[in-house]
């Protein structure tokens, strides 16, 4: 699918994102474990990719010309599990087994699950894997694209910059890096832990075309993704400025929600907030049809 997102599609995507946030919170609550804040912040990014932008086929997850997605920030897998289940890569009932003994749905992407390309989680490795996949597409004359989602705290890993240099050297304009720039990591502000700014200028200096946008604006995300390649012969870096804990008022921009499980009261409050958002989007969707 290509072209500008019209209002009906935008509203439908926002509705879907609200539902995915509700699903992941319930899953984390049931499992009593999970990376809540980062999964909430990256939900809009994944919703735009999986429901609008990427060429995928849940009935044929190994389709040779599928677009590839690598979750380099693998610890924020909860939103991804919920989306893959919703799309039919595996039964939705399996979400109830998240992080339980013997499950496939562990706390990081697991390539025993359809729709997962690589096991990830050790931060700093996803982009290097993505460079290899994008280079393989070029050499094989294939048209698929490779999307790699990184955390901003992950940018302190030296291997990220080695991969960035290689991506530009091989002119991989089929490679799209995305940084979930919520400015928080488990130990606090990214700028206090290891200063990153000016992060956009650093990526540009490494030979990437950089796009800065609101990473919780689904329409802006879709437009940016569908414009790729913006610069022929250059990989693209999407700097997605997001809010950690997005969608749950008391979790937004709170470092403690990096790895926090809602209690009964918090879950009820969060689901009520998101339910109101969901209903608002559904009303809008009905009005624009």
For each of the domains in the chain, give its residue range(s) and CATH number, in order of start: 7-288 (3.40.50.970)
Report strand pairing: 175-181 vs 184-185: unpaired
pLDDT above 50 (res 50): yes
Residue in the structure block whose two tokens are 């599609």: 9
The yes-or-no verdict on residue 6 having pLDDT over 60 is no
Instruction: Give, in order, the Cα–Cα distances in Å from 183 to each of 107, 179, 219, 265.
Output: 22, 10, 22, 27
Mean pLDDT throughout 156-177? 98
Higher-pLDDT residue of 233 and 287 is 233
110-163 confidence digits (pLDDT tens): 999 999 999 998 899 999 999 999 999 999 999 999 999 999 999 999 999 999
How high is the pLDDT of residue 2? 42
Q: How confident is the model at residue 287 (pLDDT cuts 50, 70, 90)?
A: low
**Which percentage of the chain shows pLDDT scores above 70?**
97
3 φ/ψ angles, rounded to the nearest 5 degrees: 100, 170
In DSSP terms, 181 is beta-bridged to 241
- Whether the pLDDT of residue 8 is over 90: the answer is no
* Arithmetic mean of pLDDT over the chain: 94
Q: Tell me, what's the pLDDT at 288? A: 54
Is this structure's pTM higher than 0.75?
yes
- Does pLDDT of 5 surpass 60? no
pLDDT tens digits along 253-284: 999 999 999 999 999 999 999 999 999 888 88
The pLDDT score that the predictor gives to residue 192 is 87
């Amino acid at each position: 699918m290509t072209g500008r997102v019209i209002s009906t599609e935008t509203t439908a995507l926002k509705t879907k994102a609200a539902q995915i946030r509700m699903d992941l919170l319930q899953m984390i609550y049931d499992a009593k474990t999970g990376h809540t804040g980062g999964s909430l912040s990256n939900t809009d990014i994944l919703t735009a990719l999986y429901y609008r932008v990427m060429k995928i086929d849940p009935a044929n997850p190994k389709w040779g010309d599928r677009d590839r997605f690598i979750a380099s920030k693998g610890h924020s897998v909860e939103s991804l599990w919920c989306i893959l289940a919703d799309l039919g890569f595996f039964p939705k009932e399996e979400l109830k087994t998240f992080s339980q003994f013997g499950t496939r749905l562990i706390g990081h992407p697991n390539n025993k699950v359809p729709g997962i390309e690589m096991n990830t989680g050790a931060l700093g490795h996803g982009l290097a894997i993505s460079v290899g996949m994008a280079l393989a597409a070029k050499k094989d004359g294939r048209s698929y694209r490779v999307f790699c989602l990184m955390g901003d705290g992950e940018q302190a890993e030296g291997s990220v910059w080695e991969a960035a240099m290689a991506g530009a050297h091989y002119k991989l304009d089929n490679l799209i890096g995305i940084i979930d720039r919520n400015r928080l990591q488990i130990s606090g502000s990214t700028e206090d832990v290891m200063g990153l700014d000016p992060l956009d200028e650093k990526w540009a200096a490494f030979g990437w075309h950089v796009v800065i946008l609101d990473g919780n604006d689904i329409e802006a995300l879709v437009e940016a993704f569908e414009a790729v390649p913006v610069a022929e012969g250059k990989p693209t870096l999407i700097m997605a400025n997001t809010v950690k804990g997005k969608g749950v008022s008391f979790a937004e921009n709170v470092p403690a929600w990096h790895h926090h499980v809602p209690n009964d009261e918090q879950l009820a409050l969060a689901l009520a907030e998101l339910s109101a958002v969901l209903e608002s989007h559904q009303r809008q969707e009905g009005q624009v049809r």
